[in-house]
Amino acid sequence: MTNLWAFLFVLGVLVFVHELGHFLLARWNGVRVLTFSLGFGPKLLKITRGGTEYCISAIPLGGYVKMAGETPDDPRSGSSDEFLSKSKWQRFQILIAGPLMNLLLAVGVMTFVIWNGATEPAFEQKAPVVGRVLPGSPAEKAGIKPGDLIVSFADKDVATWQGLQMRVVPRANREVPIVVRRDGQSQQFSIVPEAQTKYEIGDLGIAPSIHPEVAQVLPGSAAAEAGLQVKDVIVSFNGAETTGFTLQQMIEQISKRAGQPVTLGILRNGAPLELQATPRDQGGVGRLGINLSPFETVTITPGFVQAIGMSVKQNWEWTAMIGEMLAGLFTAETSPKQLMGPLGIAEVAGGAASIGWAALFGTMAMVSLNLGLLNLLPIPILDGGHITILAIEGLARRDFSMHVKERMLMAGFAVLMLLMVTVIYNDLRRVEWLSRLLSGS
């Protein structure tokens, strides 16, 4: 149920904001709005105010604003308050308002999230120096070694771990070049990122030099008595460096030492310390009474103006990643299996909601950006397609015939249906029992 409510909340807000953009600019330009609907199909609730019917419809997968004289097929009187009676510039404003509202919402929501304090992995903005190579991973097979500085991936320079991740994610099962700097010399390899998770996210099998960080200390616990504090970074355990430890390995090391004193080397505000702690015996399992993050984190608490700038930067990086993924669909660099539909969005939204409001609103910003950019694509039937037709007509200084427009809209509808079938099929494949059914196993 969490997935469903989170999905309805996120989608409801995004659709409302999108259609509100069309509605406000239509009214601003003197166009009569007949219907403002959240959802499609049979109308469940409706009310009429000022000549406009506002309603909630049965299928919550979108919405629409119906304007007077919106298409050549609509009954028209030639009145000045009809959509097609307006100039191309006025129609352009109305069409682009929906996608722009989604883009502005993405920036606004991320500004609010960042302004209220955001915690992120400390390594993301650092240079991508390899700290660990997993055995049997694509990186090991390609010849990547700890200490290598990755300078280029898929023929594009990368400066940070975050930048590298954004380039690796869409390239699962695709052979790509990777350039590293080793001992001051550049070396190029070919590597094939593995597909991880049911969303087939590309993964190289490498990790930065990271250490577990204390996220919570339970009152009265062994860790509290030893003096451990939140944000302490554990750099060694009984003299062994923790750089190569996964979070699970760290937990296992503690679990095996019930009632045995252990030495923790930590960094506190950058200063090294050593603490002695004795995991308490709980049913034969050692427990210190701490929750760990697998990596060091930084908490950002910017001012409002700085938060706006950071939000714009984040949305621009997302836009670049989305653009690369869309381009990759045409060049076969990105697998169509990475696309997700309503079920996938619901699962992501539900997972974000279970983490907290910041994760949920961050997901909303990302989906809103995707929705805005998708609607700007020059595909007839989408806002971007209508804008493209307007622009071509403006340049040609004549309108297309009804026959030509109908053929364009049908082509756009076919493309959109192909996209919908793809994403829904992907969603169904990710449901375990349906995946077995679809594969015939």
Task: Give yes or no: 241 in active site.
Answer: no
Q: What angle do CA 217, 237, 296 make, to 5 degrees?
A: 55
Helix (H) or strand (E) holding 276: strand 271-277
CA-wise closest residue to 188 among 239, 136, 132, 150: 150
3-state secondary structure of 137: coil
Q: Please name the amino acid found at residue 75.
A: P
Q: Is 275 exposed, middle or buried (0-12, 13-18, 19+ CB in 10 A)?
A: middle
CA-wise closest residue to 171 among 39, 324, 54, 347: 324
- Joined together, the tokens standing for residue 193 give 């990122």
- Joined together, the tokens standing for residue 298 give 């930084």
Q: Residues 36, 39, 42, 47: what is their CA dihedral angle, to the nearest 10 degrees?
A: -30
Name the catalytic one among 19, 82, 194, 324.
Answer: 19
304 sits in the region (left: phi over 0; alpha: psi -120 to 50; else beta) called alpha
C-alpha 208/C-alpha 196 separation (Å) is 18
Catalytic residue numbers, as ranges: 19
